[in-house]
Amino acid sequence: MQFARLQNGLIQKGLLTLAICVALAGCQSMGIGGAAAGGGGGNDPGARGGPPPQISGVALPDGYSLDANRTIILGEGDRWIGRLSYSVNSSADDMFDFVRREMINHGWSEVAVVRAETSLLTYLSGGGDRVASILIQRSTLYGSKVDMTVSPAAGSGVAPARANGARR
């Protein structure tokens, strides 16, 4: 009889522990837990939703959510190159208009623009040494996803040197 009571007590404690773990995991995935739980709050520069500290000189909307798994940045300030991927709770049409307006405000010159189901905008930096290609896609339910790729312009002298004998 005592063994059955002990076993029931252990099962109840195990179920309670499991329920607490599930609740905490739910809080973390919803962003309730703060920076330590990966919720995007605090001063953690790698947290989702905040700008990487080394990025400037490009159009970034308020409230965007950084996709850290798809983002790679080399350099800093307004001289960075790489890919910046993020999502935002604005329609793809609103993002297209925002990027088109704000890239020019940041000193970029428009090279080519395609407004479609998946939009593509291409810009040349004020110094002519970098190219930005911005791909805007509609999200499944609402909002949009943006991939901004900034690379050295051809012939700018910024690209890595080729090894002797390398072909173009």
Please tell me the predicted confidence (pLDDT) of residue 12.
64
Other Cβ atoms within 10 Å of 46 Cβ, number:
11
Contact 64, 55 (CB under 8 A): no
pLDDT at residue 154 in the model: 86
User: Would the pTM count as exceeding 0.95?
Assistant: no
What CA–CA distances, in Å, run from 80 to 32, 43, 56, 130, 152? Answer: 32, 22, 8, 9, 10
> What does the pLDDT read at residue 108?
96
Residues in the chain, pLDDT under 50: 16, 21-24, 26-48, 159-163
Token pair for 107 = 């000193």
Instruction: List, in order, residues 6 or more apart from 85 with CB less than 8 Å away.
Output: 66, 67, 70, 71, 145, 146, 147, 148
Mean pLDDT of the chain: 76
Position 5 scores a pLDDT of 58
What is the Cα–Cα distance from 116 to 132, expressed in whole angstroms?
18
- Could you count the other beta carbons within 10 Å of the beta carbon of residue 13? 10
Distance of CA 14 to the CA centre of its chain: 39
In 28-138, the DSSP E strands lie at 65-66, 72-74, 81-88, 109-114, 118-124, 130-138
